[in-house]
Chains A and B, each alone.
Chain A
Amino acid sequence: MTDPASTNTENTPPPASYPPKGWTAFLPWLKKIRPPRLFLHEEGLFLLLAVIIGLFSGLAVVCFQIAIDWTRIRLLGSALDPTPLRLLLVPALAGLCVAIMVIHFFPQVRGSGVNQTKAAVYIYDGYIPFSTVIGKFLTCSLAIGSGQSLGPEDPSLQMGAGIASALGRRLHLSREKVRLIAPVGAAAGLAAAFNAPISAVLFVIEEVIGKWTAGVLGAIVLSAVSSVMVLRVFLGEQPLFRVPPYHLAHPAELIAYAILGVIGGIASLMFAKLVCYLRPRLKALPRWTHYVQPAAAGLLIGIIGIWLPQVMGAGYDFIDQALHDQFTWKLLIFLAFFKIIATSLSFSSGTPGGMFAPTLFIGAMIGGAVGGVEHILFPHLGGTVGGFALVGMGVLFAGFLRVPMTSVFMVLEVSGNYSIILPVMIANTIAYLISLKYQPVPLFDMFSRQDGTDLPSMEEQRETGTLQVEDAMRPPAEVVLRAEEPVAEAIRKTSGSPHEFFLVSHRSGDWTGVTKEALRGLAKEGKGDSPLARVLPGKLLPWLHPDQPLDVALRQIGDWPLIPVIHRADFNNLQGVIALSDILAAYGAATGKAYRSKVSLQPSGPQAALGSE
């Protein structure tokens, strides 16, 4: 917990100029202060650290958002529609600066923050260099502030993870804790960026760590809450979007929401396919082009911005306007289409920044358009365009980022309206299923494969069914002995069986086992008339139930040649038996199937040809 270098300085006398003068001189002095021996062991420290990480991340996100706003006002002016000259010059020139910074000073900031956090967890033992935090802050502020079509959430997530990693290393946490601390920071960063702690916690669990364990969950929740608290202290209580009042005016509206799910699913596919197509191809271009790619992307976005300034930057203000029915449905379709193009260009060109905000933007525009069309075709339904725009955001989140749980909770958290749950669930599920069907590899996994790493896919883990005992067990065809039966009777029963080992059922529901040889030995000892229960050794067999995971069977089986699989409500009811060979055979079959499916999903063409960045 303390710096090891400072542990034996307690008895050394203070320097002559104690305390030292000048604030910089205080740093070594502060380091030498021995903190009170806290009664915290590592678990407690981890939770306390989660709060501190949350506070740091919250502050970083506050500064980050201020920096983006400040950059935008300085570079593009305070109007919502900047002058054409600024639109053509600013994103292009800023893109050039960003490219130089990324290539020469912060090469780690390129790419998805989610994947880099996952890489820190699964590859680098939780290590994220602090320069990544600084690099993300500077390059993303400049890129997003200058109008590149990217969002601040992904960088915030990575900054949070980077801060957490630095703190963990500084405090000499164990390797396991340092590995876990990056997602804690990621949750804090994302929570502050979204001003939505529940969604951030769910996202990190759903996409980064993929498991619910009490220790990690507690730390993630604490960090998310503390970061959001900091954000609200500084930037106010208001949610990310001002959502107009919503109510489901008519059940028939759910059909329109289902259609929104279909359209959103298709749009997610288009968006994902375009990014996955462009990214490796642009990356494969000669190195010198990497300097001009962000500038070229910026120029193209600036040209789009002359007619549609809404597509520039994160676009939150325009999402707000879409929620308030400020655009016609035709304009909304244009905005969604050009935002897909602009974001694909920005992201694929290597400009650092996230895709959460553009995803929400596209979703809101598509949702608003569907709502607008519904309003024209079926005015009697009385649905609000704002409701559709809100659901649309969740739809794209589910379809494009492939985080179905987060997408539902994000809409609920952002809207603060539970009555929107039905449309959200319907539309998000449809979009998610369409995306799952036609884009089997989720976006983040595709990025990681394009970058030459194979990070664990949380969706794959979710979708891959766990092997259960019933997948490996055999039917109970063998002779089953009863504990009350005499030894002679047992010998008679087992004499015709080819097997050597037999299960013995006790009235109490316990099970034991006996071999043919043991039975014969007992008979020789003159115990032929004794019941098995009296003469068999007392060691009970472990048992299993059909629905238990197969790895439980592997742990239980030990040296037993066979163990019973019994009914959960009737312990004497034998459902099957399982042997080590059965378990291994089941695993073998499943692995072969998974391998075949993975091979078939490997990216081909330029993606496969590329190495890491």
Chain B
Amino acid sequence: MPESLTRREFMKELGKLGAVASLAPMVVAGEQMSDKPYSLKRPSFIKEVDEPTTEIRWDEVKRIAEGEVTARRSFSKYLSQDRLDKLTEIRTANMDKYIKEGRDGYTLKDHALKSGAGKGGVSRVFIQDPEKVQTPEKLGVPNWTGTPEEATMIVSAALRHYGAGTVGVTELDTNTTEKLIYAKDPDGKEMRIEDADMPEEGEDYRVIPKKARWMITYTVQMSEEAMIRCPTHLGSQTTSLTYRRSQNVQERGQFFLGGLGYMAMGESSTNALAIAPAFGVMSGLGELSRYNRLLTPEYGSMVRVFKILTDLPMAPTKPIDAGLLEYCKNCTKCADHCPSKALSFEKEPTWETVGGWNNPGHKAWFEDSVKCRSYWYETGNNCGICFAVCPFASKNLASFSKVRDYMAATVPAFDGTLKKIDDLLYTPYTEFGKPQKTAESWWHENHPDYGIHTDQTVRETS
């Protein structure tokens, strides 16, 4: 080919190579990316829907103070000081005993692994230091502009490149999804949504400008092979590692959005800013499960969910119906295996909450967080058995997984049978409350990077 070509000549040359056909759609679009509605590349049996499979009464939903309501931060509020002291005593005694007796999953090397997994993440901040962000203004160029579809496309590409699994977007509505932003962050700071030009942070408040209407929600994968060793240090360390990885994804995402010339408000600490599973459901990353967390079509329960809020106009992604919530109606596996009996056995999700830690206004299988977290003290870690035994917590390499997903999405009557098949194939003899595999065996296995299979890619690229 000549060294310098006009675009016409270039395309002509490509045509000689027989490549014109594959590039034709791009040429027609005038070298622009498609502006068709953005969506994750998923099998056709996963339907995009207007309303999520979780029923919501938005007039009953109120913005909650994360630090004052959830059992995560306010555990002591829901039980007596004596009980709390006793639990702390049990945890100290158990941890001392387990490591000294070399209990599987609690050995020195397991402890060390967990210790390391909890490191490496940058500190979370609500807003990055403007001095450090390479804004277009500093570079002497205008802000990035494009269609909302392009915006969702490039943000998704960037976040996935930084370590996210799937990415969804919700356009906030004052009467509905805006209520899923916390009234107060975990550190007690009031989250004010105001007509402001820029986000701001003070001693006891954070300001979210009203014009920041796009909540980016993303998953970060956990290692199934580690998680099935729950409830041990080796099992729970994948959760720690995933949170640390998410911190890096958030910082990179904030710098990316800032680099495009837009604001990016992140989680100031773990689980800050907004209710993650709720935004996961609203943006179609998954459905609400019996264990009352996000269950995704791609990674099952093997994810954690995170958020960044921006004023970059983006194309929202729709909620989905992959038959997952319906499947949970006929599968009580997480509840069956829950050592603290914190999960619901009801067939249908209900409007009635179990305790003050639950957020009313939607139909769910509400959990008893106090029972759950009390058990964490016994194990010295965050248990995770409900995540581990979920039939959708699989690596999806075997094509039978695809059959299972298809059947779950299309033939609900078969859900009970699918659960029995899962019992037969994967967790037949699990001793109650014990790991599915020995922690020791994990050290001898060959695992992929971070223990996750990143080839379950689902991003639409056209």
Chains A and B belong together in one complex: no
Taking Cβ atoms with an 8 Å cutoff, the residues of A that contact B are: none
Taking Cβ atoms with an 8 Å cutoff, the residues of B that contact A are: none
